[in-house]
Amino acid sequence: MARLLTGTVLAVLLSLQAQASDTITRQHIKQVIDETDAAAKNRDTATIGEYLSEGFEKVIEFPYEDLMATVRLTRKEYLDLIDEGWPALEEYEYLREATVIHIMPDGLSGHSYSTITETLSRDGTSMVSKFREHALYAMENGRPVITQISGHTLVGDTTPEPEY
């Protein structure tokens, strides 16, 4: 009987330890944000890729004429896009503001909301892009990663034109 009780207690403790390694914390998410922000400022695609899950997806909504267009990118497509784009930029500035982090009640995932402002110059033309980002996070192989980024982007002057 003592062996059975000891075995049961050991199994429960190991189970709790395994669950604890799958939980994500605010500090995990803040670490991912800090590392990927630094990588973006340094135009370091490889480091950004280290923090994206294998099944990562980026969903971007943006205005096009009178419609909202949506683009979905896989992890590879997204990394290829930024890796090809950064060398063509003469200037690039990146700023994250108004970040809010939440952990889901089960402790297995979390999300953040931020406003990302990118200011860039290409072929002598400057442009400002603001993106209200919603990012989802989880633990993958014992490390925190981003599983999805979605949001709405506005390019240029984001002041709405009055409608008459």
Q: What is the pTM of this model?
A: 0.80
Structural domain contains residue 14:
no
Domain assignment present for 77: yes
144 in a domain, yes or no?
yes
Residue 160 inside a domain? The answer is no
Higher pLDDT, 122 or 3: 122
pLDDT in tens, 45-98: 999 999 999 999 999 988 888 888 899 999 999 999 999 999 999 999 999 999
Number of folded domains in the chain?
1
* Alpha carbons 53 and 36: distance in angstroms, whole number: 13
Domain that holds residue 141: 21-155
Specify whether the CB–CB gap between 26 and 75 falls below 8 A. no
Tens digit of each residue's pLDDT (9 = 90 or more) over 119-137: 999 999 998 888 899 999 9
CA-angle at 127, arms to 164 and 94, nearest 5°: 120
Angle formed at CA 101 by CA 99 and CA 103, multiple of 5 degrees: 170
